[in-house]
Chains A and B, each alone.
Chain A
């Protein structure tokens, strides 16, 4: 990362695409994704690491993007909700979030899906506890959580047959 007159040069990959940008080093990864790349699927709600709405996957790990500076993403591979499926081809998690009614207002949904995806990617045989652990840092004010847990279980079953 180089310093060029207040802005830093950031290179990383986002959803598989290389990204090169001049960024103010003070902005968070969340702001970078939302306001520079217009990837507004990732949401901010508390901006203090308490709700998980802003969760993205950075080098395979679920990260609160409101707590990570954009500069810290130098050289990283970042995945956001936009990168895992779209209306033509939904990711299994997206499909089951719809099917179980796990998205009411949907504001928590992208963060929850990314948190769950990070777990499913890393863990081929999660226990019931691990399904819960995957989303314990996420707040959903609408659903009461069980439909979310169920969506993740169903997606796991679909992915692993």
Chain B
């Protein structure tokens, strides 16, 4: 690829392109793009800020604190899972040396509420606390130690109320109401055909109740950042997943016009949905408003991070599924109870993701689903990688294994026979564009089979088995929710292509993707692009970094804006050369006449001309495809999601039947990503997602007692290490999404979703017992095997 710069100045050091091959990398299955890779799209390239990340110079939230903090804030949190706040006595705290202020609900000038869908979560609780992480006051002090001492000196008097610990308690008659509308906050349903009669008429029916656990995002970079109020503008630098929405939430809660709140994303050390709800932004903003001209810092430690933040929904999923004599699925009847914790967060959208994915990538004519979100006094639950599609995949894939066993048919054959094919519909009735579930399954089996299961005899306490999963994932928000990305592309003063996008890079490489798209579209080298992201006052709104939407949405917006800019450049050249722009075309670094070779101007000349006349060479574009609301009664929609992704996994495990330990020996994951814009980053998402999935399947669990988290730290919240996982084998399947940028769909969430059921399926294969409760840690597996 030959780079081409607009203008004359030398740009910053170029990122390197490379053809790097990981040893575990399976060849990309025949790609429709094999012949097409010319520009940056489709090539692995180094992270654009890779040097900063490996030299330790990239600044994360906590690094800003070390450099800039004038004052420090700490949060006073509820000591009870459920209580009335009787009084807050700040006198003693104010006497602590160095403490400057203690702020309570009285000091919050706006709505004092936040929440991504329902604004039901008080910033500072005034009269009632609903979980142990609820904040009641903010202490501001000259040092962090003083702030902590002040926090411990605030005296809050509570009248303790009964704690609702579980879904069952919340739904029991007489349970205390945690929210005005009662404990069932709402739900979603699917009514398709007649599931009850179809089950009654089925040749076989299998029922199971699955229980999934509470999971913590456990990103390494705990919530930390700074805020400053200069009398006009409140600037908050804290990592989130959607800067523009965070600005709106801060403005509402604190009573400021949104224009006066600027959110700038520092480097983020992972997110996985855990930065989707607002975290410290409002607290640190509130503290900064009180001390104009001072930079106020706030950071959590790991325990506070785990106690305060939302979690992945634990769920009880009651599933019945039937098949006919020929092994065709007939019906599914599903009831899902989801522990929403104390506040709504994104719960209602998670409920909807569950219902819309209830039968996964399978053809099921009759479906009845009811999802209930239920409030408890546990942490609020909300977004985490997979967003409900994770939990439901555990259930539908668990059912496929159980049904195959009951029918006495091969579980792979059974899947193959029931997977959706072109023209088939998923749970919502949507006929999915380019369903590649079968292709994914075949590709993953090919990769697994090429080495096949070792046949050497095992010691008597070990059992080996392999499992399979096939999953689908609807990309973007869907359900008629406005889903849009904007981007601006301009030619900078130094001739570089500058890309402005509100999208947030949380570490996954979104910035690389949009740089690659811009460079490809403009026909320049990556070294001549510069990406500016995630600053409410610099970048156009691009929606959230979630729902596996960044590549598709931000990528498309950038592509459209770059296309606009090219037209503008032709226009400007037409004016300069006194011809109609249609007479001109891009050629190398120049614009030349299509028919008249003599007509020519360089892009450098255009930049110079534009500068002289004072107009900008820039263009902005909006990408806003529409989905259609699911019918409230039936959950049906012809276009519930913009597009679907598919994936299939095979996991091979060794189970120690004496100790209950499970070791994943091999894990193969195949994902249809549309187009892999940056293949290495795609593989990175797959391997990372699989390892999080293995964590969820085997070890991760937030344990509550009476609303208190018993394991708020990495000593007791167990995460997978390099010793716990094999090298993940990735198979990247490329299809061509007609709407995606260069055919790309995305990849973030599906790898985790596919991994969990494949591991469970492997445990079933190894032991003959099908797990229904997560995680499958040694105690639980041993209990399952011994019936105790």
Q: Which residues of A contact B (CB under 8 A)?
A: 34-35, 38-48, 50-51, 53, 80-82, 85-87, 90, 93-95, 97-101, 103-110, 113, 132, 135-150
Contact = CB atoms under 8 A, between A and B. Distances in A.
Give the most central of B56, B63, B719: most A CB within 10 Å: B56
Contacts of A95: 54
A39 B67 CA distance: 10
Q: How large is the interface on B (under 10, 10 to 19, 20 to 34, 35 or more residues)?
A: 35 or more
A156 B715 CA distance: 31
Given A107-B220, A107-B221, A141-B272, A50 B53 contact: no
B515 interface: no
Nearest to A142: B688
Contacts of A87: 13, 51-52, 55, 57
Contacts of A86: 55, 57
A51 B220 CA distance: 8
Contacts of A145: 687, 691, 721-722, 725, 727
A142 B55 contact: no
Interface stretch (B15-23, B602-610, B638-646): B15-23
A45 to B, nearest CB: 4
Given A38-B66, A141-B272, A145-B722, A101 B53 contact: no
B51 A90 contact: yes
Which among A43, A100, A104 has the highest number of chain B CB atoms within 10 Å? Answer: A104
Contacts of B690: 144
Contact of B20 (A93, A97, A100): A100
A39 B55 CA distance: 11
Contact of B687 (A90, A97, A147): A147
Query: Which of A35, A42, A87, A147 has the most C-beta atoms of chain B within 10 angstroms of its own C-beta?
Result: A147
B302 A47 contact: yes
A43 B66 contact: no
A51 B218 CA distance: 11
B22 A107 contact: no
A146 B51 contact: no
A48 B51 CA distance: 28
A40 to B, nearest CB: 4
Contact of A150 (B22, B66, B715): B22
A143 B220 CA distance: 12
A150 B23 contact: yes
A111 to B, nearest CB: 9
B220 A146 contact: no
Q: Name which of A104, A140, A141 has the most chain B CB atoms within 10 A of its CB.
A: A141
A118 to B, nearest CB: 16
B688 A144 contact: yes
B55 A108 contact: no
Nearest to A52: B721
B24 interface: yes
A119 B684 CA distance: 25
B55 A41 contact: yes
Contact of B56 (A80, A140, A142): A80
Contacts of B692: 141
A77 B54 CA distance: 22
A4 B577 CA distance: 77
Interface of B: 13, 16, 18, 20, 22-24, 44, 46-47, 50-60, 62-63, 66-67, 218-222, 267-270, 272, 301-302, 506-509, 680-681, 683-684, 686-692, 713-715, 719, 721-723, 725, 727-728
Contacts of A101: 20, 44, 47, 680-681, 683-684
A99 B430 CA distance: 41
A105 B687 contact: no
Contacts of A105: 53, 219-221, 267-270, 506-508
A104 B687 CA distance: 11
Contact of B22 (A132, A142, A146): A146
A106 B272 contact: no
B609 to A, nearest CB: 35
Contact of A50 (B50, B267, B713): B713
A64 B688 CA distance: 24
A122 to B, nearest CB: 19
A34 B507 CA distance: 22
A143 B725 CA distance: 12
B60 A81 contact: no
Contacts of A100: 20, 22
Contacts of A90: 51, 54-55
A103 B60 contact: no
Contacts of B728: 144, 146
A161 B20 CA distance: 19
B51 A45 contact: no
Nearest to A45: B220
Contacts of A35: 66
Contacts of B222: 45
Contacts of A132: 722-723
Given A40-B66, A46-B715, 9 more contacts: A34-B66, A45-B220, A101-B20, A104-B270, A105-B507, A109-B53, A110-B54, A136-B721, A140-B220
A94 B683 CA distance: 20
B221 A104 contact: no
Given A46-B302, A48-B715, A141-B218, A103 B53 contact: yes
A106 B714 contact: no
A85 B53 CA distance: 12
B344 to A, nearest CB: 26
Contacts of B687: 143-147
A34 B46 CA distance: 28
Sorted nearest first, the 7 A-B pairs with minimum C-beta distance are A41-B56, A105-B507, A107-B269, A106-B53, A144-B687, A50-B714, A81-B56
Contacts of B689: 144
A82 B683 CA distance: 29
Nearest to B679: A101
6 contacts: A104-B270, A104-B507, A104-B508, A104-B684, A144-B684, A144-B690
